[in-house]
Homo-oligomer: A and B are copies of this chain.
């Protein structure tokens, strides 16, 4: 797997994002697979950001903390991040004053990092541009260093600034000036000689929140109610922007409780509704979760995780809400907890969630993560097709009596019909009730109803698929994980394969209830089974071991510093844990 990582660094708000986007666009045009993510502080401006971009001639979905090449947009960014350049790597920057960076430069030389300082200000001015255009100059210079076709980056810049034709003209001059300014680039060019280009027509670049938003559209979800909260907010933005095409009711509610109540109201009334938030917002929705379970109304909630507690690290990533989602909301009843793994499956997971929620008339809680939400990868367009919709509604009113609505059944599910769609009324009652929804305080009746609602998950689990094994079926070592762990593991499998280590990655999409057959098989293979999980307690590992009633994992890689799993750290973890099982 040929891969190359560029980190673009600078102060937040310094044009870092558009610089990164232009490069990503141009590299895709060049026929490379790309993966990009951005680290940024919870501030509107100020603080330092780092845009990481990996390109490869295979599908790529992870990155490292360290990069092969760093593009420094300003002094502060470079100073903050320059230690991330690998030995023998490159630094391209436009801080022509060079004052105060002597120490840094010395350090870099020691680590054999080659530094290109571009007179970006001067070059920008020379073509009639201003300070804001130094980034474009730097893109030009970088492109030259990469030794790729100028036309590709030129058209990427054109696409980016198409809406500002006047500026575009100067931008193009600045690009050229940067490009022309770099002369000898042989060494860097060589790196890419064995990178193959691919036809990427079947792919598109996508972040996880967009994938989730598309899932809502594909599920024919008619109403979206949410309150802004990082890192879930862009789902609201996407859906609001699209409303003229989708005719979706997209409503920014006044708070999270309102959002989930609007959702439950619309779902009860008979349409599909979705709401996304993050951990703290989810806390506020938990009483309502319990209501949905009680009146057996389908409820789809998305929790895009960030590190807690409290406000925590709003713009960083985590996988730490699992225990919360599994246990929150008072009372005992059925639910499903699922996780998106990347932009690849976001749309499918959401559609699945809607079908499960309607089929079983339960809350389905979908986890995502800041890392999934914001990172961009190439996805197959064909993965964004509508999956068959299963509403499990009773439409004919013949033979219907009110006592059927919450009637007792083997699997806990009773017929649901749209209120006011016929003349057979029922009570959707948040108080304990019996089969037509009328209040009961009777011991036996109450027990029957609690059983009914709790029983669903016992039947539902039988219909869920086992977790999927990626990589090698007959592996030397197995890794178990969920969510974005899949992103890094997809690359890990390939990388370790090259060093002759066959890795099997068992990916859990359904986190509650748990399917254990495949894992049992894997465990019984006698090979090491490892856990890679983004929280401190190893929540998922614990819930597996608690079901298994034995130790399962030979070792755990737990990370909870707000950063995603880096490729190299997972590779290293696995290498140092080969054959630790039963030996």
A-side interface residues toward B, CB under 8 Å? Answer: 41-42, 47, 279-280, 282-284, 286-287, 290-291, 293-295, 307-316, 320-321, 323-324, 326-333, 430-432, 441, 443-444, 446-447, 450-451, 453-454, 535-537, 542, 545-546, 549-551, 560-563
Contacts and interface: CB of A to CB of B under 8 A. Distances in A.
Contact of A328 (B327, B451, B537): B327
Nearest to A41: B441
A536 B283 contact: no
Nearest to A547: B546
Contacts of A324: 327-330
Contact of A308 (B307, B321, B332): B332
A105 to B, nearest CB: 24
Nearest to A539: B332
Contacts of A307: 331, 432, 446, 450
Contact of A560 (B309, B321, B332): B332
A310 B328 contact: no
B290 A308 contact: yes
A310 B561 contact: no
A550 to B, nearest CB: 6
Contact of A284 (B287, B450, B545): B287
Number of copies: 2
A536 B453 CA distance: 11
Given A294-B309, A331-B309, A446 B536 contact: no
Contacts of A447: 560-561
A326 B323 CA distance: 9
Given A290-B280, A542-B546, A562 B443 contact: yes
A330 B290 contact: no
B293 A310 contact: yes
Given A283-B290, A290-B280, A316 B441 contact: yes
A565 B153 CA distance: 75
Contacts of A283: 283, 286-287, 290, 328-330
Contacts of A330: 279-280, 282-283, 308-309, 312, 320-321, 324
Contacts of A549: 545-546, 549-551
A562 to B, nearest CB: 6
Contact of A430 (B311, B537, B560): B311
Contacts of A443: 561-563
Given A310-B291, A333-B309, A451-B536, A326 B327 contact: yes
A284 B330 CA distance: 10
A431 B42 contact: yes
